[in-house]
Structure 1
Amino acid sequence: MLLVLGALMVAAAILLVAFATSTPEKEVGLSRSLAALQSMGDVPKELTGELDRPFSERVIAPLQGRALTIGRRFTGADSSERIYRKLELAGNPPGWTVDRVVSLKVIGGVAGLAAAFLFSFMLGLGLTGKVVFIALGGVAGYFGPNMFLYQKAYDRQNAMGRALPDAIDLLTISVESGLAFDAAVQQVARNTEGPLSEEFARVLKEMQIGQGRGAALRALADRTNLDDLRSFVSALVQADAFGIPIAQVLRVQSSEMRTKRRQKAEEKAQQVPVKMTVPLIFCILPTLFIAVMGPAALSIMDSFG
């Protein structure tokens, strides 16, 4: 019996040692997963480069490329020149190019059609109403980038028109104080802010890289729609061509700009009564009649009642 018990105890000890030193199946699976992850980490960068690229390069860029291909087929031959002109008037917003505008027009048209299609069902329109609503959504999405550029150009031209008289005054003072024209332009670009300051800085850079003064000023006039700025540039170019003193021309232009600014202010002031007529008739007078005649009307109704 002692011999049998000893054998059993030895066998049990051997089994316990075997269980203690063996690796569970879960740990084996975990070690295999870690090994697989480590092997994936050791994959060459050429194979994982496609997954490491940002979402904009993997999805948005190919989408814009396809939209650009479709947009070029539907636009005219001179569309690139017209869009470039709009970008120049808008001040070349960062990231906006001719190709991007064309692709955004196609993407906006498709998005407008899809959004209008969904909203037409939500509004419960009829068949004719759905067709008209979807068509309007597509047209609005297609011309959305053009409207954005038009608004940017409009705001920019207005800002330049308001800053032009002050800039010409500063340019006149700088030239009359003894500075050269290039140094005076630099003073205007440095001491003013806004789109006009940026345009004068661009003119200065173009003259510094070797472009003539007249060509740089003409390029400035071509990038704007302001008649006052164009006449100012034309006077400077003619003065430079005929040898007329710049200070005298600037003094005359400054006086004319101030006069035009005063006339525009007077014109807007005279338009105020006409513009106030519509809200006065449809908004103010009805409420005034209600406040004045309302109590009397209620009294009369009570008397007859």
Structure 2
Amino acid sequence: MTALLLALAVSLSVFGAFHGIRLYRADVKLPSDLALALEVGATRTTAVGSLVDRIGIRWAPLVLRAMGAARVARKRRQIDMAGNPAGLTIDRYAARRAVYGVLGAAGAFSMLVNGQLVAALLMVAFGLFWIEVGLWSAIRVRRDHIERTLPDFLDVLAVVVSAGLGFRQALDRVAGKYEGPWADEVRITLQQMDMGVSRRQAFDELRRRNDSEQVAQFVTALQQGEELGSPIVDTLIAIAEDMRRTDAQNARRRAARAVPKATFAVTMFMLPGTLILLVCGFVYGANVDFGALFGGG
């Protein structure tokens, strides 16, 4: 009970500190870039996420300066690879990092006061890695979605190109029939080419934004085919077939890794539980007198 009251007191203290700072700085106007990031992000995130952004956005420049230019560049690339989930930007990432860090530190301090070392370590991990876990998960989900969509997209694109449309027009036509991250990436690439970026540079940017071997394979094969003068339809069909073979090989690898895991689960949990159930059933059905058996009278 004492630990719960102490944790509640620390939480109220943290809330009071944030609220007091907010009142103290109520007349301070946010820089235009931070205000724009906050306004845009609020339309694409949850109410809790918007509240966290509003609390921490003033400390975003401090967090970014502490991270350094190189780390900020790497983090911005990770956000791009995640597809800016829920409108996430580098400024909103820094705001959430500040808020989660303060909450994790306050929680760890309250746990240490009560001698709960494991809980304190968990709170420290929350403050350091909670935003990172969401970012890593978004990157993986987005990459899996793109790799599932890409082979079928290339098949349809090959059919449209073979019907007589140019490659750029065919990309625009096919992307309009798809939804999801890959269609968004194709539209971004087309917009870059409309703004004067060369096709090679636009596809290089497409490869940089996506942490996917299949996207890299698609861009590399497309550029090599363009340099060698091979027909674009044959190149697209060959890329799609290679991707399907790669998917089949990856599926076999995942299945092979799943067998030991299933065997471990059966051996460690299901088999002992089944044996215990059988022995208990036999003992109960035999009406064994344990008192007489062990000399208890």
The TM-score bracket by the shorter chain reads 0.7 to 0.9
1:181 CA drift (Å): 0.7
Aligned to 2:96: 104
Counterpart-to-counterpart distance in 1, 2:207 and 2:121: 39
Q: Deviations over 1:136-195 (max 9, x none)?
A: 423421332222211111111111111111111111121122221112212321112211
> Structure 1 counterpart of 2:260, which letter?
V
Residue ranges of structure 1 left out of the alignment (5+ in a row): 1-48, 51-55
The one of 199, 203, 210 equivalent to 2:196 is 210
Are 2:189 and 1:191 equivalent residues in the alignment? no
The one of 64, 76, 80 equivalent to 1:88 is 80
Q: Secondary structure, in 3 states, of the residue corresponding to 1:218? A: helix
Q: 1:154 to 1:263 in 2, by over 3 A?
A: same
> How many residues of Structure 1 are paired with residues of Structure 2 in the alignment?
247
Q: 1:72 to 1:221 in 2, by over 3 A?
A: closer
1:62 CA drift (Å): 8.2
Q: Name the % identity.
A: 29
Aligned to 1:152: 138
Counterpart-to-counterpart distance in 2, 1:159 and 1:246: 24
1:247 CA drift (Å): 0.9
1:241 CA drift (Å): 2.3
1:107 CA drift (Å): 1.8
Q: Secondary structure, in 3 states, of the residue corresponding to 1:191? A: coil
Are 2:277 and 1:291 equivalent residues in the alignment? yes
Contact 1:171 1:184 in 2 (8 A): yes
Q: Deviations over 1:40-97 (max 9, x none)?
A: xxxxxxxxx96xxxxx99x988853542243244323312101111111111235422
Q: Deviations over 1:196-223 (max 9, x none)?
A: 1111111122222222221111111111
Counterpart-to-counterpart distance in 1, 2:249 and 2:258: 15
Q: Secondary structure, in 3 states, of the residue corresponding to 1:197? A: helix
Are 2:264 and 1:278 equivalent residues in the alignment? yes
Map 1:154-193 to 2 at 5 A: 154-193=140-179
Contact 2:57 2:92 in 1 (8 A): no
Contact 1:214 1:240 in 2 (8 A): no
Contact 2:57 2:94 in 1 (8 A): no
Residue ranges of structure 2 left out of the alignment (5+ in a row): 1-25, 28-37, 40-50
Q: 1:225 to 1:95 in 2, by over 3 A?
A: closer
Aligned to 1:269: 255
Q: 1:145 to 1:254 in 2, by over 3 A?
A: same
> Structure 2 counterpart of 1:219, which letter?
E
Q: 1:175 to 1:73 in 2, by over 3 A?
A: closer
Aligned to 1:46: none
Q: 1:289 to 1:195 in 2, by over 3 A?
A: same
Q: 1:133 to 1:74 in 2, by over 3 A?
A: farther
Which of these two proteins has the greater Rg computed from alpha carbons? Answer: 1
Q: 1:74 to 1:207 in 2, by over 3 A?
A: closer
> Structure 1 counterpart of 2:178, which letter?
T
Q: 1:300 to 1:282 in 2, by over 3 A?
A: farther
> Structure 1 counterpart of 2:107, which letter?
A
Contact 2:53 2:95 in 1 (8 A): no
The one of 206, 223, 230 equivalent to 1:244 is 230
TM-score, normalization: structure 1?
0.71
Higher relative contact order (CA 8 A, sep 6+): 2
Counterpart-to-counterpart distance in 1, 2:157 and 2:246: 18
**How big is the alpha-carbon RMSD for the aligned residues of Structure 1 and Structure 2?**
3.0
